[in-house]
């Protein structure tokens, strides 16, 4: 990923978003190393948004979140890496639902009903929010709807990453239809 930064910088972006679930690649320390390497590669010319940083920024922005339900697209070993990342970041993980998607392509074809059911499974009593990791999951719209019927934040990684990148660039645009995060925070 760091080597691709040269090609990206040729486009002269103002900001770079890494669309990957960095929480599964070495925990908090791994995300920090990746962020530092990307920033060093850019020579400090552009900002960088990682999904791992975005999710944590969103959880802190909401405030009052201590226990989360977690939905992933991973197999069990990835579920545990994701659990570790959030616990290492100071959040208790009450429940994890791994969707066990069999390929990168199939992640994007996860039915909305399966996403809904996974959120319902982990988002019950004893959680303050639901976090959904997996940049290829078609989750933004479903998460916004789930927020309404659960009555608590349901944070999709892609929505969080977009929100965080906007805020890092000083943009406070409000966008309707993707949950409270983009509409209000």
| Chain centroid to CA 90 | 16
The DSSP string of 78-90 is HHHHHHHHHHHTT
Residues 6 or more apart from 171 whose CB is under 8 A from it?
Answer: none
Per-residue pLDDT of 45-84, as tens digits, reads 899 999 999 999 999 999 999 999 999 999 999 999 999 9
* Model pLDDT, residue 160: 95
| Distance in angstroms (rounded) separating the CA atoms of residues 104 and 130 | 22
Residues in the chain where the model's pLDDT stays below 50: none
φ/ψ of residue 72, rounded to 5: -130, 165
User: What is the model's pTM?
Assistant: 0.92
Q: What is the CATH number that goes with domain 5-184?
A: 3.40.50.12500
């Amino acid at each position: 990923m760091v080597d691709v930064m040269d090609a990206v910088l040729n486009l002269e972006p103002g900001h770079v978003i890494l669309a990957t679930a960095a929480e599964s690649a070495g925990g908090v320390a791994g995300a920090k190393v990746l962020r530092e390497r990307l920033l060093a590669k850019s020579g400090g010319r552009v900002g960088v948004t990682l999904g791992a940083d975005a999710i944590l920024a969103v959880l802190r922005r909401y405030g009052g979140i201590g226990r989360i339900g977690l939905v992933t697209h991973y197999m069990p070993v990835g579920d545990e890496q994701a659990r570790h990342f959030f616990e290492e970041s100071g959040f208790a993980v009450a429940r994890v639902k791994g969707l066990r998607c069999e390929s990168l392509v199939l992640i994007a074809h996860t039915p909305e009903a399966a996403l809904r059911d996974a959120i319902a499974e982990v988002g019950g009593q004893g959680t303050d929010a639901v976090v959904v990791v997996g940049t290829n999951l078609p989750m933004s719209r479903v998460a916004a709807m789930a927020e309404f019927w659960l009555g608590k934040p349901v944070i999709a990684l892609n929505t969080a990453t977009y929100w965080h990148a906007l805020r890092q660039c000083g943009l406070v645009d409000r966008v309707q239809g993707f949950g409270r995060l983009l509409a209000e925070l």
